[in-house]
Structure 1
Amino acid sequence: MSTASSTPVAFLQSLKVTAAKKAVGNNPQVLRRMKLARKMWEQIQLAKSQADGTNFTMTRFRSVTDPDGRRRSVEVPRRVRAWWWTTEANKLALNIRYGARKIEISKGKSAVEIASISELVPTLELIKQAVEAGELDAQIEAAAVKLREGFAK
Structure 2
Amino acid sequence: MMTVISELKLVADKKPRHMPVIVVRRNKLAAKLWEQIQLAKSQIDGTPFVIHKFRSVRDPESGVKKQVEVPKRIKPWWFQSEAGKVCIAIRYGSYTLELAKGMSSIEVASAADLIKTLEVIKTAVEAGELDSQIELASQSLRSGFRR
**TM score, norm. by length of structure 1:** 0.85
| CA radius of gyration, larger in | 1
Matched, 1:40 2:47: no
Cα distance in 2 for partners of 1:52, 1:18 equals 46
Structure 1 segment 77-88 matched on structure 2, within 5 A: 77-88=71-82
- Once superposed, which parts of structure 1, at least 4 consecutive aligned residues long, lie more than 4 Å away? 14-19
Structure 1 residue 19: Cα displacement:
5.2
Q: Per the alignment, in what secondary structure is the counterpart of residue 75 of structure 1?
A: strand
In structure 2, give the amino acid aligned to 1:105. Answer: L
**Which residue number in structure 2 is paired with residue 74 of structure 1?**
68
Cα distance in 1 for partners of 2:99, 2:58 equals 44
Structure 1 residue 65: Cα displacement:
2.1
| Unpaired segments ≥5 residues, structure 2 | none
Q: Per the alignment, in what secondary structure is the counterpart of residue 152 of structure 1?
A: coil
Q: Per the alignment, in what secondary structure is the counterpart of residue 82 of structure 1?
A: coil
Q: Per the alignment, in what secondary structure is the counterpart of residue 101 of structure 2?
A: coil
Structure 1 residue 64: Cα displacement:
1.6
**TM score, norm. by length of structure 2:** 0.88
The sequence identity of aligned pairs, in percent, is 51
**Which residue number in structure 2 is paired with residue 99 of structure 1?**
93
RMSD, aligned α-carbons? 1.8
| Unpaired segments ≥5 residues, structure 1 | 1-9
Cα distance in 2 for partners of 1:129, 1:30 equals 14
Equivalent in 2, 21, 26 of residue 19 of structure 2: 26
Distance 1:70 1:111, change over 3 A: same
Q: Per the alignment, in what secondary structure is the counterpart of residue 71 of structure 2?
A: strand
Aligned residues: 142
